[in-house]
Structure 1
């Protein structure tokens, strides 16, 4: 039994990265605040061998922009969350590309921003907490974004007609 378990673990370490697949998970804004800021998002994510999902990029549903995110961030981000927030996975928003614009939209005036999510699961709602760090070094909660599940794609979906409309419309 021990040999079987050892072989299975070794296989998972070798097969894990090779079997990870990129998926696109789409969500619609479920409240007015979220709709005003993002309308909806598609997450480019890795789905590992055992089904764990790790976010790589956040894409505007209207395909107006995307921002790279990477797992991790300072513990001060969690301490800035509102009381009762259950989310704990910190994602750093990359300042390159559209990341700076996303930071400004979610946390106006912040120098940096992070998204904090709970466990990303298929066919389940998603809540993201945005936290920013200001020039004086303080971390503040910016906004709670609430989404409902829309669907999963093997590749990035083409924008629908009318998706060029301004956000908040």
Structure 2
């Protein structure tokens, strides 16, 4: 019994990272505010063996840029959300590369920004709340972004062409 338990633990430790798979989930802007800021996005996400989806990068579907995001942030981010917001997963927008531009676009004047997402599910709309931290230390809600499910890319969207006419693989 003990050997079986040890073998199971070793197998799960080795299979855990291998079981996660990278997915590219595409969304189109569903309102004018979102359209003006992002047009559409593709989320580079990991899907665990149990089906949970964790986002690690946000890519402009129109190939304008990509920003790394990492899970976590201060509790003040959630407290800054508007009344009735149901999103709970906080992601910090990296300040390197295109993350700085994304922060400026979503929260002009802020020093840092976070995206707060609801549960990411295939085939479902997505709502993201942007929250920024200003030089005075205050956390403020910046914008609500609303997206309609577009589909899933088989590979990441190409970054060299300037159009978004290619369609993702449907699911």
TM-score normalised according to structure 1 size: 0.88
Summarize the Cα distance change of 1:137–1:154 in structure 2 as closer, same or farther, 3 Å threshold: same
What is the correspondence of 1:70-149 to structure 2 with a 5 Å cutoff?
A: 70-149=70-149
Q: Structure 1 residues 33 and 9 mapped into 2: Cα distance closer, same or farther (>3 Å)?
A: farther
Aligned to 1:55: 55
Q: Which segments of structure 1 move beyond 3 Å, counting only runs of 4 or more? A: 3-14, 158-164
Structure 1: runs of 5 or more not aligned:
165-169
Distance 1:33 1:27 in 2: 15
Q: Any idea what SS the aligned residue of 1:46 has?
A: strand
Q: How far has the Cα of 1:17 moved from its partner?
A: 1.0
> What's the TM-score, normalizing by structure 2?
0.87
Give the conservation status (yes or no) of the 8 Å contact 1:38–1:60. Answer: yes
> Which residue pairs with 2:40 in the alignment?
40
- Cα deviation, residue 35, structure 1: 0.3
Distance in 1 of aligned mates of 2:92 and 2:29: 21
User: Does the CA-based 8 Å contact 2:63-2:162 persist in structure 1?
Assistant: no
Q: Which residue matches 1:167?
A: none
Paired residues in the alignment total 164
In structure 2, what is the equivalent of residue 155 of structure 1?
Answer: 155
In the alignment, structure 2 segments of 5+ residues that lack a partner are 166-171
1:51-104 per-position Cα deviation (integer Å, ceiling 9, x unaligned): 111101000011110000000000000000001100000000000000000000
3-state SS of 1:101 partner: helix
Write the distance in 1 (CA, Å) between the matches of 2:24 and 2:117.
Answer: 16
